[in-house]
Amino acid sequence: MHYFSNVPPKTINMSWLSSTRFFYLQLFILLCWAFSPLVHSKDEIEMPEQQPLTLSLAIERTLKDNPSLKVFKFRQNALEGQLQTQSLSPAYEVGFEMENFAGTGDIGVFDSTEFTLSLSSILELGDKRKVRADVISNRSSQISALRKIEALNLLSEVNRRYIDILAAQERLLLAKEATLLAEETLTEVEKRSKAGVAPKAEIKRALAAVGNARLTTSSEQQQLDYAKVALAMMWNEAIPSFTRVEGSLYQFSKDLEFATLLEKVKQNPEILIYATQERLREAQLRLARTESSADIKWSVGIKQIQAVNDTALTAGFSMPLFSSKRNVGAISSAQAARDEVVVQREATMLALHHQLYRAYSNRKQAIFTAKNLQESIIPTLAEALSETQVAYQRGRYSYLDYLSARQELLFARRAMIESAAAALRYGTEIEQLIAEPLSAPQSNHGQPSKFPNQKAF
């Protein structure tokens, strides 16, 4: 209080009160600014670390949210409505007829009128109602088979896009490593130029190499971003909620005998659906045959005769003639449609056989290439690059020799990435054809392969 000894007491209290209010006002503004999302950019807000996406989670989200599978529910509901309609008995009809209500001479107007009130319907023969229901039921089975095919296609597409991301991640890492290698080369060239043992043109070439490496890194980053968006679209997500995917390109399942795989192809939904189609065509053929049995239209009624002031009962029936002859064309058409299914099944089996053999042989070649690059070629090129670098530093090799050794190693590693990705894609194609996963991978799980004198991919 001694700081305010010259100030009257009332003034002291008001000043203290004003200072306190100003302090709390400043504190309130500061807190509002600190917690306001509008004053911070996205980079300033600390975001929780995202977990890498796994293949099982990608498949689960696709089966749950992809709209391609949701349409089958509505198709099934439509068939249920058709089944209710086709299972109904023929409707009853009420008729009213008036005769002789006007004329000339003795008939007059309403003097000799006859009124008839009737009830009529159709008596279906040949068990048509049951056969119609069988057709709808077989269409329902066909929709279930089509849904399995669509689900299998979606799973295969998820696998392919997942593999694309794995390959893009590896290519991006390789591009970054190539950029570092180009920068190291530039440093070596500058040292030699300062020592007077290398022309300045080599510096410009090394600078251009660094620029090209950075352009490649930018391009690979764009390809990775596109691949992530493509995968996220499988579960209807416009912006990917993941930053990377989990897995390795260098895991290959064990080979199975081609004959074993071919036998499994017979259980592919694309083959099994022909069984449902054949049953459907058979039901449609039975329905066409039932049309040869003519339906009988019957009616009963009451007639009021004004001339004699009396009431009488009426009854009648009618049926079309020569129904079986008129239905021969429909039966022939239904038989042809049924026989066509058998031929289509054989043609599809041949196509799947060819597709399986192509995927099987290409997968073996891709695995062979990737393993040879991994185990033999790349380690040799890595040693050659190390020796060439030492020789270049000592002036025994030219810049062109050093650049060639570096490019050969990078090309080999890029070829290994592409071969491994191709092997996994062909494996996915085989899994789609046999409608089941291949056996467990041969190599290490979860972690990418490492190579001598190289960083992990």
Distance CA 51, CA 47 (A): 12
> Is the CB of residue 125 less than 8 Å from the CB of residue 293?
yes
Q: Rounded to 5 degrees, what are φ and ψ at 170?
A: -65, -40
* CA 200 vs CA 163, 180, 191: distances in Å: 44, 21, 11
* CA 318 vs CA 90, 95, 107: distances in Å: 15, 16, 31
pLDDT at 159: 94
The tens-digit pLDDT sequence of the chain (457 residues) is 333 333 333 333 444 334 444 433 343 333 333 333 333 333 333 334 467 899 999 999 998 888 888 888 888 888 888 888 777 778 888 888 877 666 565 655 556 677 788 888 887 777 778 888 888 888 888 888 888 888 889 999 999 999 999 999 999 999 999 999 999 888 888 887 887 777 888 889 889 999 999 999 999 999 999 999 999 999 989 899 899 999 888 988 888 889 999 999 988 888 888 888 888 888 888 888 887 777 788 888 888 776 677 788 888 888 788 777 777 888 888 888 888 888 999 999 999 999 999 999 999 999 999 999 999 999 999 999 999 988 888 888 888 888 899 999 999 999 999 999 999 999 999 999 988 888 655 443 333 333 333 333 2
Pick the CATH number of 55-89+127-292+341-434 from 1.20.120.420, 1.20.1260.10, 1.20.1600.10, 1.10.645.10: 1.20.1600.10
Percent of the chain with pLDDT over 70: 81
Sequence-ordered list of residues with C-beta below 8 angstroms from that of 91, at least 6 positions apart, any chain: 121
Distance CA 171, CA 419 (A): 12
pTM over 0.85: no
Distance CA 205, CA 407 (A): 14
Domain boundaries, the chain: 2-35, 55-89+127-292+341-434, 90-123+293-326
Query: Own/partner pairs for 347-356, CB < 8 Å, 24+ apart?
Result: 348/270, 348/271, 348/274, 349/265, 349/266, 349/271, 352/265, 352/268, 352/270, 352/271, 352/433, 353/262, 353/265, 355/429, 355/433, 356/258, 356/261, 356/262, 356/265, 356/430, 356/433, 356/434
- The tokens for 244 are 């990377």
Query: Own/partner pairs for 358-365, CB < 8 Å, 24+ apart?
Result: 359/426, 359/429, 359/430, 359/433, 360/258, 360/261, 360/426, 360/430, 362/422, 362/426, 363/422, 363/423, 363/426, 363/427, 363/430, 364/255
> Is the CB of residue 53 less than 8 Å from the CB of residue 228?
no
pLDDT at 210: 93
Pick the CATH number of 90-123+293-326 from 3.90.550, 3.30.230, 3.30.1300, 1.10.3470: 3.30.1300
CA angle 363, 368, 371 (to 5 degrees): 120
The tens digit of pLDDT for each residue in 95-129 reads 888 776 665 656 555 566 777 888 888 877 777 78
